[in-house]
Amino acid sequence: MLGGGIAAWFFLRDSADWQIAILISLTIALGCAAAGRHGRAARSIGVAALTVAVGIGLIWWRSDRVTHAVLLRPTIATFVARVERIEPLPARELVRLRLAPLAVVPRDDGRDRPLPALPRHLRINLATADVPVGLASGAVLRLSARLMPPPEPAVPGAYDYARTAWFDGIGATGRGFAPVTVVEPGRPWILPGLRARLSDHIQTQAGGGGAGGIAAALATGDQGSIPLEDTEAMRRSGLAHLLSVSGLHITAAVAATMILVTRLLALSPWLALRWRLPLVAGAAGALVAIGYTMLTGAEVPTIRSCVAALCVLLALALGREALTLRLVAAGALVVLVLYPESLAGPSFQLSFAAVVSIIAWNDHPGIRALVAPREEPRRTRVARSVGSLLMTGLVVEAALLPISLYHFQKAGVHGAVANICAIPLTTFVVMPLEAAALLFDTMGLGAPFWWATRLSLDLLLWIARTTAAIPGSVAPLPAMPDGAYAAMAIGGLWIALWRTRWRRLGIVPFVIGAGWAISTPAPDLLVTGDGRHVAIRTQGGEVALLRDRTGDYTADILAQGGGVTGLPVLWSDQRDARCSRDLCMAVRTVGGRRWTVLGTRSAYTVPLEDLVRACAAADIVISDRWLPRRCSPRWLRLDRTTFRRTGGVAITFPPSTVWPTIAARASPAVLTVRHPEDSHPWIAPLVMERETRVRRHRSRRAHPEKHQS
């Protein structure tokens, strides 16, 4: 219910709705307290309502607590800043920096211009060739960069980095360019510098490439060295979770530490008889978990896994059963109190959904009886164990599938089989070999272990590539409605949390949500928030791009939004499209009705009369610049003025129905990234910019003498 309150805050759009939701929850809680003083159901409902109110207030307080300035418009600035974090991305030939600006430097061109005010924290990408010698955490740099506000979703359903940047304190992102000068050296001996040196050492010893990048990711969480094709193969095969330091890595490190400490201390009879060795080993495991979390950068997924591991160790120390849903709830409660915004991210949802599904499945009486130890031949026992692992993997994949489809519009369908091979390989072969290699490197004897580590990592990559190459390995789906996802989440939680026959009722909302998601048609038209990039669905189900030159990142976003996995095609190559250098007109027939779409594809001015005639012949006109008033399409005009209000747009044309009259009169469904009533803090700077321009325009009209210059 705490998570439900946090989710309600993200779903509701302004402070009035948040206040009403809190008052309704408190009213229900007080009513239950007054009416059901001795009733268990009334107490439960009252506590649930009170917890929802606490969740809304918690995330509201958190969003206000991290309030910071956000850049309103793109700018180029020269400034001095302190390096807070360094993230090498060798596979992309970039280095990503988190900077804290100290001062803005005036330009040397002699022109008197106002200096831009910069946010407190920036995220800057530097080309590897522009990285200065001596770059380290804590260093002070002087550089120039082209800065932009944190980007909002390009199209409805895409990743919202503006929200993530708000809670991370990032006020602008951009690309730095040479010259970059180190004004003050950093402190390479601190933990980030140690992590960078360890990552470089592992990549050198493991041979570089995909194997070296994965070896570094397993030890330090640095994924920037993994080639893009290997990263995509791991993602398509459902093995991408192995690359981020999370529960699997923390568990392996803690378990190895406890086994090693217990065996070493047990060599002394005096210690074995006088000390509780499991408690000592548990304390050592807790220290390793905390140290490993700090070494890998203390990201939210790692912190969440560390908290869960500490809860398990505490339960073992108290003599309680470790793996229970109460333990999962305690870990989730700690994470949500510390980082309530993590609930909206896929990492939190994927990890906790996996753990909850594993525990709930194996806690079922029938499954518990099936996997219980018994007297039987070794072959039968091994077959039953493998079958149990396979069923658990299938359950986990079923639990994670809706989450992956909602956040990424695609999910690996063969991940259960791949994980059955890859997880034991990573846990019992790769990580112990890598740990032994690092240990023996202190004595100069790690070469044999690195050779074995490379072989095991090559086998892991072979599993990923083979699985990803299977036809139909990825299931695409268009952007899922929020209501469908909420119904499936509620149904899944109901099935997992109830322990009686009441759990079967959860099938109803889950099936409703799944049917709703599957029946939601893919959008026929996608337009990015700047109006430059347009994708239209062809009659063959492909996604066609308006501009011949579209970046890979934008093309991938438009393909995902359209629910396809292949590469997009071009408007100009379609038979039902007519394109010139400046304009492109396409025809899409849906439900027996022809829709004509006109888009501008260059920055050159089109003769006014030609543009007006083309607009009159089109149903929808799309342009990244201002269109003249005489441009009047039959249904919708999207230009720069419109995009400032809506952001990215997704349009779905009405399909054919049983009644042709209804199909002819039905209007297309339009989804937008921005909503006029949305007042979440990461949206507010965009609203403030519009209001500032409106006030400036009104002032110019009322007092023209003040603005003549």
In sequence order, the 6+-apart residues with CB closer than 8 A to the CB of 220 are 195, 198, 199, 202, 245, 295, 296, 297
Name the nearest CA neighbour of 116 among 164, 155, 152, 149.
149
SS3 assignment, position 284: helix
- What pLDDT, on a 0 to 100 scale, did the predictor assign at position 38? 63
- CA dist., res. 313 & res. 320, Å (int): 10
- What pLDDT, on a 0 to 100 scale, did the predictor assign at position 9? 95
- What pLDDT, on a 0 to 100 scale, did the predictor assign at position 705? 47
Whole-prediction pTM? 0.83
- What pLDDT, on a 0 to 100 scale, did the predictor assign at position 252? 78
Q: Where are the beta strands (DSSP E) in 94-139?
A: 94-104, 122-127
The mean per-residue pLDDT over the stretch 105-125 comes to: 72
495: Cα separation from own chain's centroid: 26
| Whether the predicted pLDDT of 693 surpasses 50 | no
Question: How many CB atoms are closer than 10 A to CB 61?
Answer: 11
In sequence order, the 6+-apart residues with CB closer than 8 A to the CB of 302 are 221, 245, 246, 250, 292, 293, 296
CA dihedral sign of residues 328, 334, 335, 337 = positive
Strand partners, 80: 103, 142
Q: Report residue 67: phi and psi, to 5°.
A: -55, 135
- What pLDDT, on a 0 to 100 scale, did the predictor assign at position 294? 80
Q: Report residue 409: phi and psi, to 5°.
A: 60, 20
Distances (CA, A) of 73 to 164, 167, 577: 19, 20, 35
**pLDDT tens sequence across 217-235:** 887 777 777 888 888 888 8
**pLDDT tens sequence across 557-603:** 888 888 787 778 888 888 888 888 888 898 888 877 888 999 988 88
**DSSP-H helix ranges across 122-208:** 161-168, 191-206
Structural domain boundaries in the chain: 2-65, 75-106+118-188, 347-413, 482-519, 525-672, 678-709
- What pLDDT, on a 0 to 100 scale, did the predictor assign at position 5? 95
Please report, rounded to a whole number, the percentage of residues in the chain having pLDDT higher than 90: 17
- Model confidence at 686, pLDDT cuts 50, 70, 90, reads very low
SS (H, E, C) 488-527: HHHHHHHHHHCCCHHHHHHHHHHHHHHHHHHHCCCCCEEE
Q: Sheet with 620-622: list strands edge to edge.
A: 577-579, 583-590, 593-600, 620-622, 636-638
Q: Is residue 216 within 8 Å of 454, Cβ to Cβ?
A: no
Output the six-digit token pair for 550.
């579209």
The mean per-residue pLDDT over the stretch 530-546 comes to: 87
In sequence order, the 6+-apart residues with CB closer than 8 A to the CB of 216 are 199, 202, 203, 206, 222, 225
- Model confidence at 118, pLDDT cuts 50, 70, 90, reads confident
- CA dist., res. 484 & res. 488, Å (int): 6
| Whether the predicted pLDDT of 534 surpasses 80 | yes
Output the six-digit token pair for 182.
């180190």
- What pLDDT, on a 0 to 100 scale, did the predictor assign at position 320? 75
Say how many CA atoms lie within 13 Å of 69 toward its Cβ: 12
- Model confidence at 650, pLDDT cuts 50, 70, 90, reads very high
Please report, rounded to a whole number, the percentage of residues in the chain having pLDDT higher than 70: 90
Secondary structure element (H or E) that encloses residue 437, with its range = helix 431-441
The mean per-residue pLDDT over the stretch 64-69 comes to: 88
For the domain spanning 75-106+118-188, the CATH number is 2.40.50.140
- Model confidence at 109, pLDDT cuts 50, 70, 90, reads low
- CA dist., res. 598 & res. 372, Å (int): 66
The mean per-residue pLDDT over the stretch 467-483 comes to: 81
The mean per-residue pLDDT over the stretch 474-482 comes to: 82
